[in-house]
Structure 1
């Protein structure tokens, strides 16, 4: 189990506070690892191999000039979800780095946005180079507002 997955299980499983406070504490700690993530105030809700979800709260600091969640805030949320997914899914003998992102903005982001990152385990087990992580952002009413993929470069760890 990776450090990220272990921390998530510990924080979200704490008696009394695990459901809310533990997840929030994890989200803050994760954002400190890559401080730019803190700009969107992510709230992780699900972290498991091959599937991660987090919520970007719709607040003034992430809005654009028309009052919707800004496109780059959405991309930041997708990248945070992908990063957590990569950390909890990648085999111990491999490493990863982001290589590129391609997204389409499909609707206005007028509410909190749930960012989802997904892969299939076989992608990681057979990865030697490119690996595509499926990502999407969903409004409270279920409408997909952004979708695409983040490409990773996955290679064996140096010995």
Structure 2
């Protein structure tokens, strides 16, 4: 992967910073590109090309009618954690898009939410070498009690950017 995408260039710059500054800077820059990420108050707690953690605080503006993090906000942290990894690994001339998300709400959530996503080396190699494809990105969503109130399966695709 010789040419880098804008996200890859941003990451290369912030990767030089100590972890707390790195995640703060990446959160800020990612939020400029993905407006709803910023609006919802999401933050990267960890970001590497193969591993990300996105968190959201249980604040009134992201709550549902029972005072827990809204279902859409839970999905947003999963999409952000997985999408950042795909964006950091696809070729610069490709565009990553969410293809499918499967969601299973298992129990009432408690407190803040955390999405942790991982890629294998095999998945990274495939994204970096194939012009187009799709990948099932592993993601685990936990709440303030370290329980998994929601299961999410995120399938991402990438295709060459349209010219013109």
TM-score in terms of structure 2 length: 0.78
What are the equivalent positions in structure 2 for 1:1-159 lying under 5 Å apart? 3-8=6-11, 10-11=13-14, 13-14=16-17, 18-20=18-20, 22-92=22-92, 94-126=94-126, 128-155=132-159
**Aligned residues of 1:40 and 1:57 also touching (Cα < 8 A):** no
Following superposition, the deviation at residue 157 of structure 1 comes to: 6.3
- Paired residue secondary structure (1:144): coil
Question: Structure 2 CA distance, aligned partners of 1:124 and 1:93?
Answer: 16
Runs of at least 5 residues in structure 1 that lack an aligned partner in the other structure: none
Task: Provide the aligned C-alpha RMSD in A.
Answer: 2.6
Tell me the number of residue pairs that the alignment of Structure 1 and Structure 2 aligns: 156
Change (3 A) 1:110 1:12: farther
The 1:6/1:93 distance shift into structure 2, 3 A limit, reads closer
- How high is the TM-score relative to the length of structure 1? 0.81
Tell me if the contact between 2:24 and 2:43 (Cα under 8 Å) persists in the aligned partners. Answer: yes
Unaligned runs of 5+ in 2: none
CA contact (8 A) 2:52 2:82 kept: yes
